[in-house]
Amino acid sequence: VLDKLKAERERGITIDIALWKFETTKYYVTIIDAPGHRDFIKNMITGTSQADCAVLIVASGTGEFEAGISSNGQTREHALLAFTLGVKQMIVGVNKMDNTEPPYSEFRFMEIQKEVSSYLKKIGYNPKCVAFVPISGW
């Protein structure tokens, strides 16, 4: 959604960090879209190191989630990097809920929430303070 570079749109991945700013009556907000792809982890670290809160996007598709949460998966790596870089607030977007079986499966959402919460607790987050939001980018 936030990717501007032609290569990003063509490949379907974020390559560089992008910034969007707005303010509310109480806060100045800067949204930093950082790459999730393993080839661009340096850019992800640059963006994450500036954050107060992270939105960790987790794919809910069968196989996709399992790959991300595996011992060397991107979901684990990104959550650990966020915590290590000092990001103490986390929101988890459980994406592609339209691709679960059945579509928008509450069981699948709860399964993912349980497993991700367990990992987040191990690395230092309080799972009770982490919001999990079912989403679909389509």
Tens digit of each residue's pLDDT (9 = 90 or more) over 22-68: 999 998 887 777 655 566 566 666 767 777 888 899 999 999 999 99
Tokens at 83, concatenated: 């915590």
User: Are residue 134 and residue 112 in the same domain, yes or no?
Assistant: yes
What's the Cα-to-Cα distance from 60 to each of 71, 88, 121, rounded to whole Å? 17, 24, 20
Bond prior to 134 in cis (omega within 30° of 0): no
Ramachandran region, residue 19 (left: φ > 0; alpha: ψ -120 to 50; beta: rest) = beta
User: Are residue 37 and residue 69 in the same domain, yes or no?
Assistant: no
Tell me how many domains the chain contains: 2
User: Are residue 37 and residue 64 in the same domain, yes or no?
Assistant: no
Give the structural domain span for 113: 52-138
More confident residue, 31 or 76: 76
